[in-house]
Amino acid sequence: MDMEITAWHSLHHAMNAKDERRPFSRATLRRIGAFARPHARRLAGFLLVSIVLAVIAVITPVLAGRVVNAIVGHRSSDVVVGLAVLIAGLALAEGGLGLVNRWLSARIGEGLILDLRTAVFDHVQRMPVAFFTRTRTGALVSRLNNDVIGAQRAFSDTLSGVVSNLVTLLLTLAVMVSISWQVTLLALVLLPVFVLPARRMGRRLAGLRREAAANDAAMSTQMTERFSAPGATLVKLFGRPARESAEFAVRARRVHDIGVRTAMLQHVFITSLTVVSALALALVYGLGGFLSLRHQLDAGAVVALALLLTRLYAPLTALAGARLEIMSALVSFERVFEVLDLEPLVKEKPDAKPAPEGPVSVEFDHVRFGYPSADKVSLASLEEVATLDSRGGVEVLHDVSFRAEPGQMIALVGSSGAGKSTIAQLLPRLYDVDAGAVRLGGVDVRDLSFDAIRETLGMVTQDGHLFHDSIRENLLLARPEADEDELWDVLRRARLDDLIRSLPDGLDTIVGERGYRLSGGERQRLTIARLLLARQRVVILDEATAHLDSTSEAAVQEALSEALDGRTAIVIAHRLSTIRAADQILVIEAGRVVERGTHESLLAEGGRYAELHSTAFMEPPAPSVSPGGSTDGPDTLASATSLRDLRAGSSPSASHPALR
């Protein structure tokens, strides 16, 4: 290792050591030990190989010095050849052991990443919906990436580095002192000239790198938000592209300036440190040569000391920042454990029950509920705020009671924000009640297993969310074992089969992020097709037809009537056609059931329902029919255009809204 490489090594350690002033936590260390225990044998082998490599690194310069002495002393060629063969053997051994060490390091590091990532991912999946409504997705993903990798480095880099550097340092000092204490002292006197600039410049460069990373993150956030389908639409409708471009350019320019400044600082630093190293070598050669000429030191010893000098500075510099590296790794572990320690509010009981057989009733029994406060479901670091919002726990549902017999449809109506969606979210245990009970088939949902709830109850929400995947995979999410015929059957019943068949890739068509390549009505009908495929006995429709035109709604209502036959349904409705079909209507206002009955009986009462009926539940006009015979509703028009363009061979992205 020459002195320039040593200088780079020193700078790397100084830049990557985060100055975290935190005390060691024994609990954290114990938990780290628990994650490391499955890798204990590999860790032991890793440390042993690191020690052997450190010993070889010190032996080689000593042997080189003996070769020089053998040459100068005109000793037998067998001695010189023997030493050369030994050096070559050590080099081969060092290369082989280096490969073994790297393999062990990779297995330990990647194994730890696997364990931590799966633990965090599985834990996050158990968190309630309230957790995701508050958490910034980017901050959560960072825990699974940056912090997990930072924790992994504690084993693959920091631990082995401390051990090997400590062994190398002690052996190097011992050998150098045994050869010449004067030269060793001179090397130690010059050490601060080498180490201190590295620490100071490293912190300076680390600050610049953090600033660049912050600007990169801001640019990434801006691009992610503006380049999504809804974000791009918003900018085009209300934004100012020139201002967006200017904001992006300011950050990009700052990253550019930091890049230039960092490159120059690194070059100046490495050049300066290389000069200092060369001066140190010159002093070693000068003092060593002087002592050699006075017959106080062998020529080979001078060469060995010069080579050992390069083995001295790098481990000393690394060990000087070892504490900061260890603390940085501990911080990464603590940030991962912080997520793992956040207990989910909604838990499955150890003795959870299966769902009852046959048709299932739905019952709300004096239910009271308030959304939980942030400190119960979130972390300030994941929301990227200084302190969590202390508000929460205010009751939003007050003594709600009703019962839907097997096969009945219950419609929930009321003003926006009255609590209709909150009621719907309590059935699948997206939240748990504060008082009272929610029952499926007479069993409290808190006593059922999560699998039992998923198998029994299906839900279609207002937004009709789809993953950025194929139509096939979005459908199979409901029932992975479904065959091709079943997929086409539910698409036919959702009135989507003709559209899907006309697409070039059919079921393998990618729907885009959140399904934005489909129109709103097509997206919603696909989610309804997914519901039909699941075949659950209880169905919740949270304004599932909100994005459909009248023609599409009529088609889907026909399919839903078939699908809901014999099933219990809770429907949050805004269309009169849906409400009229209900066996019972509940009028929800301010979290209370203020009226209940059939459509006719509630109209006869002349209360809140009659008021809503006269204002909110008016049917939209029927879609007009164009001279060509096609309806001009938004879905049918978009679909017709897409089919025409796709059949003509146009690019889907350039054709029309249905496959944007």
Alpha-carbon span 547 to 543, nearest angstrom:
9
Domain membership flag for residue 96: yes
**Confidence band of 560 (pLDDT split at 50, 70, 90):** low
Low-confidence winner among 81-90, 150-159, 243-252 (lowest mean pLDDT): 150-159
The angle formed by the CA atoms of residues 44, 46 and 47, to the nearest 5 degrees, is 65
pLDDT at 626: 35
Interval 503-515 mean pLDDT: 82
SS3 string of 168-202? HHHHHHHHHHHHCHHHHHHHHHHHHHHHHHHHHHH
Domain membership flag for residue 387: no
CATH at residue 549: 3.40.50.300
- 370 and 295: one domain? no
**pLDDT averaged over every residue in the chain:** 77
pLDDT at 240: 72
pLDDT tens per residue across span 633-645: 333 323 333 322 3
Give the H/E segment covering residue 30: helix 26-36
pLDDT tens per residue across span 276-326: 777 777 888 888 888 888 888 888 888 888 888 877 777 776 676 666 667
Token pair of 643 as six digits: 């089919």
- 325 and 455: one domain? no
Token pair of 24 as six digits: 């060691």
pLDDT beyond 90 at 629: no
**Confidence band of 197 (pLDDT split at 50, 70, 90):** low
pLDDT at 594: 94
pLDDT at 625: 36
Q: What pTM was estimated for this model as a whole?
A: 0.66
- 102 and 175: one domain? yes
pLDDT tens per residue across span 417-466: 889 989 998 999 988 999 999 999 889 999 999 889 888 888 887 777 78
pLDDT beyond 70 at 161: yes
- 367 and 306: one domain? no
Which has more pLDDT, 249 or 632?
A: 249
- 81 and 186: one domain? yes
SS3 string of 197-251? HHHHHHHHHHHHHHHHHHHHHHHHHHHHHHHCHHHHHHHHHHCCHHHHHHHHHHH
Domain membership flag for residue 658: no
- 300 and 415: one domain? no
- 450 and 587: one domain? yes
- 316 and 371: one domain? no
pLDDT tens per residue across span 20-44: 444 456 777 788 888 888 888 888 8
- 448 and 332: one domain? no
Alpha-carbon span 465 to 527, nearest angstrom:
7
**How many domains would you assign to the chain?**
2
Give the H/E segment covering residue 365: strand 362-370
pLDDT at 627: 34
Domain membership flag for residue 383: no
pLDDT tens per residue across span 221-280: 677 667 766 677 677 666 677 777 888 888 888 888 888 887 887 777 777 767 777 777
- 423 and 328: one domain? no
**Confidence band of 660 (pLDDT split at 50, 70, 90):** very low
Range of the domain at 537: 362-377+394-619
